[in-house]
């Protein structure tokens, strides 16, 4: 009877006080998610070891906070409809696991689905939103990724609004990640519902191309970058466009991993690692923990970068930063090395949306190379570089 009373109060209070938890993602969320590398093969030991690795590898010090369990953690619902974790995979229960993750100064994330089932066939939250939100709060969950499989007949905005209200009624602040794949333009309505929303279908371990699965496709890094044009105006503090979790360390080349990370930083994308951080090599770790690149992503101005121009397969991206700084990224989209000669004085950069203009013929900017981690002169000189295939030159310009 007590559970029914509590659930009834949650339903009543949601109608009266409904909103999202504000201020949880003033900069893009940073963390790790199990899906890209482990798929359904998740268990308690993996999550504990990953949380430990988040600390020991320096990822926590670099700003990563959330350890997120994706699909397949679910067990069955009890006679009252409350979800329980798989007892074989999570024998200690989610509360004990959350307590351990919290003891390391990190947050625990979890996964569910707006439909009857999750994408992996486990119980979804449809019809159980308030029960699930209440149990997540009891466990101490800090982040919810909410997927869109088996949602026949549902309208996305309404379905995500229901879970938003349930989370708020449960009373524990939770970062709410809308994983609707961009089908119903969540950037147009997601700001007051969630803290981030997926803009595309799933990413693949592929820099350039498509993986066709029959009824759906997963996409390369370049395809995801190109897929949604003009939606940067919808992103900002506490509401971010999410081009999916990162594939760094999962099989692309070093250059491609570096370019992938650089572009997610330029896009003000959530930085959610998707590799096995327990066993990653030094080069992967150095990419994921590059604090100068991360500072571009986490800049408090909250402006998403944009494509300025294309120079013989080298695409110039820019991202205005606080204090009048500017991040610049030259992305080599080609499969061959490209020589770059860029005359700053002849190429002003204007961002109409952010109301920022950078006229290099009128002002000189110091240049910092964010991957070489050293000064690279100033905008008084023509920038000359050779950029390997699928690699970048990422710079920070300061007065």
In angstroms, the CA 194 to CA 190 distance is: 6
Phi, psi of 185 (to 5 degrees): 50, 55
Q: Take residue 374 and report the two structure tokens written for it.
A: 């050293």
Give me Rg for the CA atoms of the chain.
Answer: 22
Instruction: Classify burial at 231, counting beta carbons within 10 Å of its beta carbon; exposed 0-12, middle 13-18, buried 19 or more.
Output: middle
Task: Give the single-character DSSP code of 123.
Answer: B
Active site residues: 147, 202
CA-to-CA separations, 71 to 94, 112, 118, 276, 313, in angstroms, rounded:
14, 7, 7, 16, 38
Q: Please answer whether residues 366 and 398 qualify as being in contact, where contact means their C-beta atoms are separated by less than 8 angstroms.
A: yes
Task: Answer left, alpha or beta for residue 328, where phi above 0 means left and psi between -120 and 50 means alpha.
Answer: beta
In angstroms, the CA 321 to CA 366 distance is: 14
3-state secondary structure (DSSP) of residue 167: helix
Among 148, 142, 94, residue whose Cα is nearest residue 125: 148
In angstroms, the CA 358 to CA 349 distance is: 5
User: How many angstroms from the chain centroid is the CA of residue 37?
Assistant: 16
Q: Please answer whether residues 111 and 73 qualify as being in contact, where contact means their C-beta atoms are separated by less than 8 angstroms.
A: yes
């Amino acid at each position: 009877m007590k559970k029914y009373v509590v659930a009834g109060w949650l339903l009543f209070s949601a109608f009266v006080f409904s909103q999202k938890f504000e201020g949880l993602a003033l900069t893009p969320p940073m963390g790790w998610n199990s899906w890209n590398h482990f798929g359904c093969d998740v268990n308690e030991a993996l999550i504990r070891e990953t949380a430990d690795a988040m600390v020991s590898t320096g990822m926590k010090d670099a700003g990563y906070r959330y350890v997120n369990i994706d699909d397949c953690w679910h067990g069955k619902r009890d006679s009252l409809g409350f979800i329980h974790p798989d007892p074989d995979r999570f024998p200690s229960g989610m509360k004990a696991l959350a307590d351990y993750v919290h003891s390391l100064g990190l947050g625990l994330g979890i996964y569910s689905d707006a439909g009857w089932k999750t994408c992996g066939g486990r119980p979804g939250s449809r019809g159980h939103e308030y029960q699930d939100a209440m149990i997540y709060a009891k466990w101490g969950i800090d982040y919810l990724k909410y997927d869109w499989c088996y949602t026949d007949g549902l309208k996305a905005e309404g379905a995500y609004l229901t879970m938003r209200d349930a989370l708020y009624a449960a009373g524990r602040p939770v970062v709410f990640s809308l994983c609707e794949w961009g089908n119903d333009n969540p950037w147009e309505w997601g700001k007051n519902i969630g803290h981030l929303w997926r803009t595309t279908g799933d990413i693949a371990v592929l820099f350039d191309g498509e993986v066709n699965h029959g009824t759906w496709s997963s996409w390369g890094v370049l395809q995801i970058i190109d897929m949604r044009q003009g939606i940067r105006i919808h992103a900002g503090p506490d509401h971010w466009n999410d081009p999916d979790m990162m594939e760094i360390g999962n099989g692309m080349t070093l250059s491609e991993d570096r370019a992938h990370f650089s572009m997610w930083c330029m896009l003000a994308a959530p930085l959610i690692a998707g590799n096995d951080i327990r066993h990653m090599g030094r080069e992967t770790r150095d990419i994921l923990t590059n604090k100068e690149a991360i500072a571009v992503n986490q800049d408090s101005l909250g402006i998403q970068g944009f494509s300025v121009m294309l120079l013989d397969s080298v695409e110039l991206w820019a991202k205005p930063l606080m204090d009048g700084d500017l991040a610049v990224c030259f992305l080599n989209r080609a499969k061959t090395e490209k020589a770059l000669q860029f005359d700053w004085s002849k190429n002003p950069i204007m961002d109409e949306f952010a109301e920022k203009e950078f006229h290099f013929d009128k002002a000189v900017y110091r240049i910092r190379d964010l991957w070489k981690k050293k000064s690279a002169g100033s905008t008084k000189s023509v920038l000359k570089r050779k950029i390997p295939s699928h690699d970048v030159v990422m710079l920070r310009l300061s007065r």
